[in-house]
Amino acid sequence: MDNSEKIVSSAVLEPGAGTDTAGGGAMPVFRRAGLTLYVDLALASSFFFGAFVLSWQTFSYLEPIAFKPEVWFQADIGRVERVLTDRYSGFHERSRIHPLFSLVDTPIVYGLMRVGGLDATTSIQLLIALVAGLWATLFYVCCRLLLPTTWDAILLTALGAASASFLFWATVPETFLFGSVTMLLCAMGAAIYDRRPFGSVGLGALAAISLTMTVTNFMAGVFLLLVCRPLRTAAQIAINAFFAIAILQIVQNLIFPEARGMLDLRSEARFVFDRSSGGVPDKARAVLSHSVVMPEIQTPIEFDTKNMMVSVQTSPLFSAGLWGKLGTALWGTLLIAGVVTLASRWRQAGRAVQVCALVAVAQLALHLVYGDQTFLYSLHYMPFLLLVAGQSLYGKHATIGRVLLAALVVCCAVNNALQLIEAKTLLS
């Protein structure tokens, strides 16, 4: 066991009465000392309120310029606003791709409007800010469970909040933030399962939750099942989870008359191997780099509205200025180091890290095929890329990794904020 793994054993895990040997080695039951628990609660709360304020303020800064149809990286912002505020909107038909988004989120906005007396925009802004805070809290918990020290978790969570993906998508009305939360729950569930295994009902519930916001996010739930159960059992639980969501969609269809069932994906066919998305290198850059460090922002013409939009689909690496160039180099170094470290300790890494790696690879494969604005989906893969890169904090070069990570947080915070201002300026 290397020094970093000793740290995680002494600071996070305390040997208990139960162990789990299914993952290739004994795993002590998860148990925290009282002081450490209070520190973690304080840090998680701090990240919640920090992300809440960041989301709230940035929403106000961008609205209404970035909320015009299809201008913000081709996002469906207006469509999502209508779904959240109008029970009878025809846009509820998007439930074929976002199975329970209407059922889960629209009643919250209705409640804020009818009971809280807020206007529609403020209600949506409050919902987005609350979910942004929840995302930051869940991501911190995942980092705390998967990384060697508390400082590592703080740094990686700060990087998540400073990333291009979070700054550009946790601040506007879209579905991706909600979907990212459901996927992080699967990673957290795998980390808890490593320490205290729980039953198939709990695993099935997490898998079902991963399907609620976006159909393709079900991959996170499926990978969770595959690392925790034999193949045949995992397949049965996945089928049960899918069936449960289908049943809930029947309830949703009664409340929202325009809602549709899952998997009517014919209209999405045009986004498969879409030539306007560029080639494989363009998509790979958007997944592996642009989701963390924002490159130069371009202004192509959107093919449906014929209006100018902001995009980074064909933006090259190292194109955003000094902070962006330095950040891109640091991020590339950490990601490569994380992949190499993870490959060398795959069996010892635990189920949660395996789930994160599998999701990252599957998301990369998906978006090499689907979508013409790859950055649009970045909240679905950015946190898992960060958790894979965080594996570089294990081993004899962990101290160097921490220095690089701290520098990367600063670079991302400055570069991505400047690029956000530039995006608004271009649309103005």
Can you read off the two tokens belonging to residue 153? 């978790």
pLDDT tens-digit map of 392-415 = 999 888 999 999 999 999 999 999
Distance CA(205)–CA(269), nearest Å, equals 30
Higher pLDDT pick, 377 / 303:
377
Q: Is 304 helix (H, G, I), strand (E, B) or coil?
A: coil
Look up the pTM and report it: 0.90
Within a 10 A sphere around the Cβ of 102, how many other Cβ atoms? 25
Whether the per-residue pLDDT at 271 is higher than 70: the answer is no
Q: What is the dihedral of CA 292, 57, 181, 350, to 10 degrees?
A: 50
Contacts of 413 (CB under 8 A, 6+ apart): 162
The alpha-helical segments, DSSP class H, found in 305-397 are 322-344, 346-349, 351-369, 382-389
**Amino acid (one-letter) located at 182:** T
DSSP 29: P
Contact 24, 348 (CB under 8 A): yes
Mean pLDDT, rounded, of the chain: 89
Contacts of 227 (CB under 8 A, 6+ apart): 23, 190, 351, 354, 355, 358
Whether the per-residue pLDDT at 9 is higher than 80: the answer is no
Nearest Cα residue to 65 out of 387, 310, 366: 310
What's the half-sphere exposure (Cβ side, CA atoms, 13 Å) at 72?
26
Whether the per-residue pLDDT at 260 is higher than 50: the answer is yes
What is the phi/psi pair of residue 188, to 5°? -65, -40
Helix-then-strand count for the chain, H and E: 17, 0
